[in-house]
């Protein structure tokens, strides 16, 4: 079978019915693609991080003074601000992946670059968050006392350091596995496509 012989019949392909494809209804529906899902997740994270500090504040309204002078509360606020900034940054990055009107090869290269940089930032972000909590756990007991942290500090420095190293290693292992499961396959697939276009 020769491809050229079938060109004519391929082009003669005609639609029979088109009356029931409601384009207006289709464009009013929401996207369900992977980029749309990521955008939705980041939006949700931003909203949640804005709401949670207020919930903490209002559930402790009868102890406002204690809440406002609590290092733990302000550390949490700082963490939320960091996470909101990080999610917003990610949201903007992912938004760039939505543009689909470029040449296929350029679009693929852009998607690969964006995904790779998103992966790098995600791993860095989680590491920074973990280091932030380690720092808090070590520094906070010098300023304010919390029973859990005091108990933690009753352990020797060597044990605490070993636990922190363990946490960091576990984070490295989990991040690598989760990232590979979530994006690795898709990234590999995009790279294969891009290679094929060389």
Partner 1 sequence: MQTQETEKQFEKLIKENELLVFKVCRMYAYTNADRKDLFQEIVLQLWKAHPKFKGESKFSTWLYRVAINTAITSLRKEKRFITSYEPEALPENIREENNSDVEEEQLQQLYTAIEQLTQIEKAIVMLYMEDKSYDEMEDILGITTGNLRVKMNRIKEKLRQLTKNN
Residue selected from 1, 148, 157, 158 as contacting partner 1 according to rule CB under 8 A = 1
Residue selected from 50, 64, 106, 135 as contacting partner 1 according to rule CB under 8 A = 106
156 binds partner 1 (CB under 8 A): no
Residue selected from 58, 102, 145, 169 as contacting partner 1 according to rule CB under 8 A = 102
Between 38 and 80, CB nearer to partner 1: 38
Indicate the SS3 state at residue 32: coil
Between 39 and 80, CB nearer to partner 1: 39
In angstroms, give the least distance from the CB of 109 to partner 1: 9
Residue selected from 16, 61, 148, 158 as contacting partner 1 according to rule CB under 8 A = 16
Where does this chain touch partner 1 (CB under 8 A) — which range of 6-14, 46-54, 75-83, 147-155? 6-14
Q: How far apart are CA 42 and CA 19, in angstroms?
A: 38
Q: In the numeric block, which tokens belong to residue 182? A: 């979530």
21 binds partner 1 (CB under 8 A): yes
29 binds partner 1 (CB under 8 A): yes
In angstroms, give the least distance from the CB of 93 to partner 1: 16
- Block residue for tokens 């860095």: 124
Nearest to 116 by CA among 37, 173, 172, 190: 190
Contact 82, 129 (CB under 8 A): yes
Distance between start and end Cα atoms, the chain: 28
Q: How far apart are CA 172 and CA 15, in angstroms?
A: 54
CA angle 41, 45, 49 (to 5 degrees): 175
157 binds partner 1 (CB under 8 A): no
**By the criterion CB under 8 A, which residues form the site for partner 1?**
1-3, 5-7, 9-21, 23-24, 26-27, 29, 31-35, 98-108, 111, 186, 189-190, 193, 196-197
């Amino acid at each position: 079978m020769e491809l050229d012989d079938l060109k004519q019949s391929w082009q003669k392909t005609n639609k029979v019915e088109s009356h029931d494809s409601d384009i207006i209804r289709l464009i009013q529906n929401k996207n369900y693609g992977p980029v749309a899902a990521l955008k939705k997740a980041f939006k949700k994270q931003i909203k949640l991080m804005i709401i949670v500090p207020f919930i903490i504040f209002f559930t402790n309204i009868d102890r406002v003074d204690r809440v406002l002078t609590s290092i733990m509360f302000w550390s949490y606020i700082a963490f939320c601000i960091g996470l909101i900034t990080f999610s917003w940054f990610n949201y903007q990055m992912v938004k760039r992946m939505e543009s689909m009107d470029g040449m296929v090869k350029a679009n693929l290269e852009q998607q690969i670059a964006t995904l790779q940089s998103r992966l790098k930032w995600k791993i860095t972000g989680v590491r920074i968050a973990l280091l932030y909590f380690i720092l808090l756990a070590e520094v906070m007991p010098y300023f304010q006392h919390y029973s859990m942290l005091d108990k933690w500090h009753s352990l020797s420095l060597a044990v605490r350091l070993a636990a922190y190293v363990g946490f960091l290693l576990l984070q490295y292992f989990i991040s690598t596995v989760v990232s590979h499961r979530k994006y690795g396959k898709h990234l590999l697939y995009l790279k294969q496509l891009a290679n094929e276009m060389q």
